[in-house]
Amino acid sequence: MIRFWSYKRELKRYKKTINQKINKSLNSGLIFFGEELKEFEKKFINKYKSKYGIAVGSGTDSLFISLKTLGIKKGDEVITAANTAIPTISAIRSAGAIPKLVDIGDDYLIDVSKIENEITKKTKVIIPVHLYGQTCDMDKIIEISKIYKLKIIEDCAQSQGAKYKNKFCGTIGKLGCFSFYPTKILGAYGDGGFITTDDYELYKKAKRIRFYGIETEDKDNKYVNKYYSNEDGINSRLDEIQASILNFKLTIVEKLINRRREIAQIYFKELEFTDLVLPKINNNSDHVYHLFTVYHPKREKIISELKKNFIETKIIYPYPIHKMKPYKHFFKNQKRLKNSEIKAKGIFCLPIYPELKNSEVIKICEKIKKILKKIN
């Protein structure tokens, strides 16, 4: 069986180092807010060229906390892409805001030419989702944000390490949000997230919100043990065990990304002359291939045949947000989201992770080509 994803091969390869990191963390006597977390936060912002950053409990939390940090409240509107993960929308709703969806282009990213159609007097934020591993057209989004005085929160959950015009995603908007869910570019062995910003006041506020609104440092950045909440906050902490694992994996993340790119190139080469629609790569984006997303109108037949050959695939995502029960009442004019609906009926993702063998990638391609000949 060729799995769509599995952590077991990675664990087998790095088990000794990971166990050492976990044991060191447990023996430190601290479960939260210890040296591993401090080290990770510092290394992460240094690597991705951000002035400030905090680790949080999940990628969803990073979006929610960022929205609250910007003062988003009930009735405010937040613009994002129709083709996104549910957490993007659930974070917006948890903040009390109303999601406004914009259709996608052929690259599966937000169609920047349609953003202005959704802007109203209530619009406060744009969340461009850097989906599948490449960045949105940030120049146009920045231009729009300046005209309408909107803030930008980048959803980088699937694009850590990707660049837009040689600038890392997460450093272009007001705040950047990352996920360390196990399948991600930098995956923990649990959950986790991160917020980046170049704004000191936003950094301090986000830091308070992640810990019940409590101020944990004084003006000299020294620890303050005062159990007093300054504002409404939540509990969103990255524990020391996950931080220790991420500290190690951060040292090899470029190697992991490069391996994903190698696998992607095999797919491009082997499947180039088929009628499978391969990923469209934008000129200004440096793709990290969190996912290798393809399109075919006979998707279900292809997936079924691959399954018979013991090859797993995933549909990411099978339903547009505006078709889901909790959210569809927000989107009465669904004609504007036509491309999202079309793509959702035919997109699916092929296995792509660093431990996947070249021979397995070739086998996947050979099976796909045989299936395509059979069904056409």
Q: What is the pLDDT of residues 213-259, one digit of tens each?
A: 998 776 666 666 678 898 999 999 999 999 999 999 999 999 999 99
Q: What single DSSP character describes residue 199?
A: -
Of residues 98 and 228, more confidently modeled: 98
Residue 375: exposure state from Cβ atoms within 10 A (0-12, 13-18, ≥19): exposed
The pair of structure tokens assigned to 16 is 């000794």
User: Which amino acid is present at 235?
Assistant: N
Mean of the per-residue pLDDT values of the chain? 95
Q: What is the pLDDT of residues 122-170, one digit of tens each?
A: 999 999 999 999 999 999 999 999 999 999 999 999 999 999 999 999 9
Count of Cβ atoms closer than 10 Å to residue 16 Cβ: 8
**Does the pLDDT value for residue 372 go beyond 80?**
yes
E strand or H helix at 50: none
- Distance from C-alpha of 140 to C-alpha of 13, rounded to nearest angstrom: 43
User: Which amino acid is present at 198?
Assistant: D
What pLDDT, on the 0 to 100 scale, is given for residue 336? 80
All domains in the chain, ordered by first residue = 8-250 (3.40.640.10), 253-375 (3.90.1150.10)
Residue 217 β-bridge partners: 223
What pLDDT, on the 0 to 100 scale, is given for residue 293? 98
Q: Which of 282, 259, 267 is nearest to 353 (CA)?
A: 259
User: What integer is the mean pLDDT of 114-118?
Assistant: 96
- Distance from C-alpha of 335 to C-alpha of 331, rounded to nearest angstrom: 10
pTM for the model stands at 0.95
